[in-house]
Chains A and B, each alone.
Chain A
Amino acid sequence: MAVPAEVLIAEQAQPIHQEPTSFWRKYVFSIDHKMIAKQFLWSGCIFLLLGGVLAMMIRWQWAFPYRKIPLVGELLLPRSGGIIGPADYQQVFTTHGLIMIFFAVTPVLIGAFGNFLIPLQIGARDMAFPKLNMYSYWSFFLSQLLVLASFFASLGSGGAGWTTYPPLSTNVGTPGAGQSLLVLAIFVTGVSSTMGAINYVTTVIRLRAPGMTYRRLPLTMWGLWLTAILNALFVPVLGAAGLLLLFDRQFGTQFFVAGASAVRGGGDPILFQHLFWIFGHPEVYIMILPAWGIVGDVVSFFARKPHHWYKGSAGAMIAVTVLSAMVYGHHMYVTGMSPLLGQGFMVFTLAISLPSMIIVLNWLWTIWKGSIRLELPMLFALATMILFGIGGLTGLFLGDISMDLYLHDTMFVVGHFHFTMAAGSIVGAMTGIYFWFPKMFGKKLDTRLGQIHFWFTFLGLLAVFLGQLATGYAGQQRRLFDPYQYTFIQGLHGLNLATSIAAFILFLGQLAFVVNFFKTIFSKEKDREQNPWQVGTLEWTACSSPPAYHNFDHIPQVLRGPHELSDPEVMKVLDRDWVGQAEPLPQGTAGARA
């Protein structure tokens, strides 16, 4: 059979390179996208654990204020003997948010899945710029070290909240090197994200295998690609905000300093909020778009049906990407913004729910009357739909100005963004981990342990974040060191205590995942199924598990879309309900030309 010209051209453009043999080149300073993905995965998971410990400390404080943390208290807070003081508490909730968003979810969802999946799913032998990819990881690693270093600064780590709003985050509010190190860490991780984004955007544009048109991309690719575009355009805005904040802190400039401590009128703290949210709102979608993509693919694969209205879902993702850049003002309704401007932001904010609904309804229609296989990835995908759904619906309350005036800065906001960014993104990432684990490590994760992990995670997250929504609706402000100093919150102690206990159970439930992860990686069992989920995308059908260094011996010629499941013609010819994206049907059958 003749090799198609496009394939020859693609293969010549991406020659097979020799796999490096030295330890450093292979495992540490690797330019292989699969190894870099694993590095991001490890870094992200370790910080996920760290962020989780910090979350438990917050919950402890709200359940048992001024009491010593049992077992690990002295270890975590040696100076106070395990009791969380007000200053410690500031640092705990600040670093919890920052670590979870920038140093845990982002590396896992974008760093690990982006790197691992983009070349494999589009049929490329590596990223467009492999070395840039390596720099991206190592600058990310540096930013993680900066975060860790901030804990050892003389006044402790930063304490101005994850949003680092001035004037609290200036030298006036939070003196000491800790806050500066955190801001620097945000800047460095921003540089890393930008490098990654340049790579992802270019790779998807240039290195798609012949026949892999945009309409044949798996939805995961759409999610990651749009995320990369948002990253490339909006992370530098955060970079600028961080840079100016650093100038203010280190060189005495006055961008954000105002009031009594300012010279000649000073700057404007609200300016920082503008910059932060111009970045911050797209960031919300940066963190959810990959999860949407993953869920879209997984529901199709495990309902054994093509994704319902694929073009609609891809188009809706594009619409969300564009709209996400136009709504940032809804974080600032209470800053005294012009009501007219506020209304504009409100309209755009509520308009985002339309494309979001297209995506969610398409998931439901995909599942509708499907032959559902309730395997682990599907369980997590369904959980993502429910948890993200609650997050999205509570977002409507906050997007509405009159409602937001009441709910602003309450635990309701905390519950809302935990449902979207923590539950939606992290459970979405878990979907991906359970689904692609066999591709990364060649072995499937244990089902029993996975189910235990699933129920602890799903019910745990639901309980904890519903508790947050309820306390917030009852009026509890967020970020309070001791909420019960306020008489009207004292009645909420029981609810907070129950929520905290749910959180501790949720945290312990993650042990099932850790055990499962290591048990599977180190198991001797050679259960290398090439395509355990029986799906057609390139990473499962055109290369081995785990993939060779160069991914594809021959660059595949893609013939069809990613969700060609239960096609009657294919079932007749091949006697199975799936067909590879690049798998030619036998000559003479109707689908052979496909």
Chain B
Amino acid sequence: MAAAVSASGFGEETPPGIVRRLADRRRRDEATATIGMVVFLASWAMLFASLFFSYGLLRARTPVWPPLDQPPIPVLLPAVNTAVAALGSGAVILALRFLRLGRLRRGSWALAASAGLGTVFLALQVVVWVGLYRAGLVPSGGPYASVFYALTCVHALHVLVGIAALAWLAARGFVGSVTAHRHLAVRLWGMYWHFVGLVWLVLFATVYVI
């Protein structure tokens, strides 16, 4: 049996076609990592689903929502932010496309742009927070404020993690450790980034708009 596995990895008795399948090892590893990421995102989707469930239940049992004596939540800036998040997701898609084509520098720039858009998103979010806080919406101001601050803050923390990861990937891209064949991390973090964007979309629709 040992003889069958020669130094080159496969012996003379190797069945036809196996050379090609052995060469597919990277694709198999990537599939494994992708499945892991999907399980993780499904798991984390349950976390956000629970937060939205809490919001729905609190809102359902409150007669007037939003409360009349609370400052109104702005819609314009968050709408801009939705566009920013969409652009950020687009930038990751673009980055992946460049990386696949082997245009590594452009890919890295696209990743950096995505991280930058994430930062813009957070900055606008801070503007919204500060404005509302100054207008008198404080976290301890009842369930309405609780829902607003808790959901946006948990989401913002996820954005922060995404920014750090994308910036790190961009930096690795500029020094050349991300190549056309080795960019699994970009794909996985891209999935995460889309997920965070999707959560924002639900958050924007439920917390800000309706």
- The stretch that binds B, out of A252-260, A326-334, A361-369, A515-523, is A252-260
B154 in contact with A243 (CB, 8 Å): yes
Interface size class of B (residues with CB under 8 A): 35 or more
B18 in contact with A197 (CB, 8 Å): no
Q: Does B210 contact A (CB under 8 A)?
A: no
Q: Known contacts A233-B43, A236-B43, A255-B150; is A267 also within 8 Å of B58 by CB?
A: yes
B36 in contact with A128 (CB, 8 Å): yes
User: Which chain B residues lie closer than 8 Å to A1 at the CB level?
Assistant: 1
User: Which chain A residues lie closer than 8 Å to B39 at the CB level?
Assistant: 197-198, 201-202, 232
B47 in contact with A236 (CB, 8 Å): yes
Q: Does B206 contact A (CB under 8 A)?
A: no
A267 in contact with B31 (CB, 8 Å): no
Partner of A128, one of B5, B32, B140: B32
User: Which chain A residues lie closer than 8 Å to B22 at the CB level?
Assistant: 8-9, 12
Q: Give A268 to B55 CA distance when docked, in angstroms.
A: 11
Q: Give A3 to B14 CA distance when docked, in angstroms.
A: 8
- For window 3-40 of chain B, which residues contact chain A by CB distance below 8 Å? 4-5, 9-11, 13-15, 17-18, 21-22, 25, 28-29, 31-33, 35-36, 39-40
Q: Known contacts A3-B5, A202-B39, A271-B54; is A252 also within 8 Å of B142 by CB?
A: no
- CB-based nearest A residue for B148: A253
Q: Known contacts A253-B150, A254-B143, A265-B62; is A244 also within 8 Å of B36 by CB?
A: no
A271 in contact with B58 (CB, 8 Å): yes
- For window 108-150 of chain A, which residues contact chain B by CB distance below 8 Å? 128-129, 132
- For window 224-239 of chain A, which residues contact chain B by CB distance below 8 Å? 232-237, 239
Partner of A267, one of B25, B50, B143: B143
Partner of A5, one of B5, B21, B154: B21
A253 in contact with B140 (CB, 8 Å): yes
B58 in contact with A198 (CB, 8 Å): no
A240 in contact with B143 (CB, 8 Å): no
Q: Does B169 contact A (CB under 8 A)?
A: no
User: Which chain B residues lie closer than 8 Å to A247 at the CB level?
Assistant: 139, 146, 150
Q: Pick from A1, A11, A263, A554 the residue with the most CB of B within 10 Å.
A: A263
- CB-based nearest B residue for A205: B35
B43 in contact with A263 (CB, 8 Å): no
Contact with A along B42-59 (1 / 0, CB 8 A): 111011111101100110
- For window 122-180 of chain B, which residues contact chain A by CB distance below 8 Å? 139-147, 149-150, 154
Q: Does A35 contact B (CB under 8 A)?
A: no
B4 in contact with A3 (CB, 8 Å): yes
Q: Known contacts A8-B5, A12-B25, A236-B50; is A3 also within 8 Å of B11 by CB?
A: yes
Top 9 nearest A-B pairs by Cβ distance?
A264-B142, A252-B140, A240-B50, A253-B146, A236-B47, A2-B13, A236-B46, A3-B4, A232-B43
Task: A198-B39, A265-B143 given; name 20 further pairs at CB < 8 Å.
Answer: A3-B11, A5-B17, A8-B22, A129-B33, A194-B43, A197-B43, A233-B42, A233-B46, A237-B46, A237-B50, A241-B50, A243-B154, A253-B145, A255-B147, A264-B69, A264-B141, A266-B142, A267-B143, A268-B58, A275-B53
What residues of chain A have their CB less than 8 Å away from a CB belonging to chain B?
1-3, 5, 8-9, 11-13, 128-129, 132, 194, 197-199, 201-202, 205-207, 232-237, 239-241, 243-244, 247-248, 251-255, 262-268, 271, 274-275, 278, 554
In the complex, 20 of the A-B residue pairs with CB atoms within 8 angstroms, ordered by the A residue number, are A3-B1, A3-B11, A3-B13, A13-B29, A128-B32, A198-B39, A198-B43, A201-B35, A202-B35, A233-B42, A244-B51, A247-B150, A252-B139, A255-B58, A255-B147, A262-B142, A264-B141, A265-B142, A267-B143, A274-B53
